Amino acid sequence: MKAEALPRCDNYIVCRHANCVRSICNQTLLWGGDGSWSPSYFLTTSWQVSPDVLKGCVDSQMEKWMIVSYKYRAYPGSVAETRLNTALDTCRWLYNKLLEECNEARACGTSLKNQETQARIVSLKDENPALKDVYSKVLQMVNYTLWSNITALSQSKKNGLKIGKLRFKSAFRYRTLNYNQSGFKIDREHNTISFSKIGAVRVRMHRPYIGKVKGILITRLGDKWYVTIQAEHEVSEPKICGRSVGLDVGLNSFVTDSDGRVIENPPRFYEHSLDRIKKLQQSVSRKKRFSKNWKKAKSRLNKAYEHIFNQKNDFLHKLSRQYVNTYAAVCVEHLDIKGLKEKGNHKGLHRSIHSVSWGKFFSYLSYKAESAGTKLVTVNPRNTSQMCSNCGKIVKKTLSVRVHECPDCGFVADRDYNAAVNIHRIGMEQPFEPVETMPLHHVSVMQVLSMKQEATPFRAW
């Protein structure tokens, strides 16, 4: 493979669990930046997708190779666990130290470069001998993470988002060791992975990974450990024939497609859990920091977050899998800032939860499409909801108007269905033709969740 093909793929690595989402989320620091998910941000930060990032994901369909990540539970023994915790702490120290030096340099009117901070790691080993106990490539990836955070931050500033400085990492926010390319050895027979300077760690490989392993991340989440294996795949040949579909994401329903399916919004179980989260948060804040009870309450809170996160991801994975398996081409709107504004009349939390889901849904679609040979087409969102899908006339309507009624041709349809048909037509570059009017078919969250993630496509849902 071409060497220069890597950086773009890099952005796309771990689409499922980290980077793709991360590089989008980094823009508002949804991710801890170390590849780990921090749910508190997820719930509180209003979030916007940068068009460039999304474009990058879609463009990378052109690459012949892609990297897919597989996440497994890990069970380090007590010795390995102590070493892992120490290594995390050392990496955190390094991250904060390098960030501090970058900040100091800026305060003095100069600036440091990526290569300079990387070279600094060597001299810091005298200052902090603990660095010698961490695999050198892992240290190098700390520098890499710092710089990708710095770049993401300055990119968001350029995009006009109001964002403060990069934060120093507390112990709770530094959770991932990144073994890139080397320093690990996988023993598939005994289900263990040996990490340099850490030792062997038992891993439950509940499903096999495919492809050449390019890197492994070890993450601490609450009191659990996970490893994420990043493996390289060859991208599937595009499907030559098959049906196509247009998807419209909205607030009233999660997705409406041009085949007349209306997928119910997932927040139903989500909002239900919010009450519980609120209670748990209060319980944490009432306790003395770092006390035994505080730790217990905190772990309960983390579990609740994890539960929501898993449920929601499960929904998004299954739904995107269905679309990718059923169709040869899927058309979606280019989910940019303007599009989000137009879509969202609800402010704050509600909106932000929706936009996070849409962004994730599209990135899941994107990488699943890539591995399945399905074409993902993004279209300009301009006028998709205002235009009559039957004749092309612009019929202005506010968000509260749920039905599209064309005064010119008399076409009447659900607002979102009309938009989905438009997205489909634009994406497939088709001329206007009479739109079939059919009753919309509602699909509930439970129906989506009961689908198998890797199942073969349905003929009809």
- Binding positions for Zn ion, rule: CB under 5 A: 388, 390-391, 393, 406, 408-409, 411
CA atoms in the 13 A half-sphere facing the CB of 430: 18
Q: What tokens does 368 get?
A: 């699943």
In angstroms, give the least distance from the CB of 410 to Zn ion. Answer: 7
Nearer to Zn ion by Cβ, of 117 and 418: the residue is 418
Nearer to Zn ion by Cβ, of 82 and 437: the residue is 437
One-letter amino acid at 297 equals A
In angstroms, give the least distance from the CB of 338 to Zn ion. Answer: 24
Query: Distance of CA 69 to CAs 51, 334, 373, Å?
Result: 24, 25, 18
In angstroms, give the least distance from the CB of 396 to Zn ion. Answer: 13
In angstroms, give the least distance from the CB of 404 to Zn ion. Answer: 9
Of 393, 397, 391, the closest CA to residue 416 belongs to 397
In angstroms, give the least distance from the CB of 264 to Zn ion. Answer: 28
212, containing H or E segment: strand 212-221
Nearer to Zn ion by Cβ, of 48 and 390: the residue is 390
Please name the residue ranges forming H helices in 159-266: none
In angstroms, give the least distance from the CB of 250 to Zn ion. Answer: 21
In angstroms, give the least distance from the CB of 283 to Zn ion. Answer: 56
In angstroms, give the least distance from the CB of 390 to Zn ion. Answer: 4
Nearer to Zn ion by Cβ, of 116 and 405: the residue is 405
| Alpha-carbon span 369 to 328, nearest angstrom | 9
Nearer to Zn ion by Cβ, of 150 and 409: the residue is 409
Nearer to Zn ion by Cβ, of 79 and 394: the residue is 394
Q: What is the per-residue DSSP string for 116-135? A: HHHHHHHHHHHH-GGGGGS-
Q: Which long-range contacts (CB under 8 A, 24 or more apart) does 204-212 make?
A: 204/72, 204/73, 204/74, 204/75, 205/72, 206/72, 206/73, 207/70, 209/68, 209/70, 210/68, 211/68
Nearer to Zn ion by Cβ, of 396 and 459: the residue is 396
Of 248, 208, 238, 247, the closest CA to residue 72 belongs to 208
Q: What is the per-residue DSSP string for 65-111? A: EEEEEEEEEEE--HHHHHHHHHHHHHHHHHHHHHHHHHHHHHHTT--
Nearer to Zn ion by Cβ, of 11 and 390: the residue is 390
In angstroms, give the least distance from the CB of 394 to Zn ion. Answer: 10
Nearer to Zn ion by Cβ, of 232 and 416: the residue is 416
In angstroms, give the least distance from the CB of 114 to Zn ion. Answer: 55
Of 315, 285, 306, 277, the closest CA to residue 453 belongs to 315
Give Cα 140 distance to the centre of its chain: 24
Nearer to Zn ion by Cβ, of 413 and 443: the residue is 413
Q: Which residues pair with 413 in a beta bridge?
A: 404
**φ, ψ for residue 69, nearest 5 deg:** -110, 145
Residue position matching structure tokens 């659900």: 414
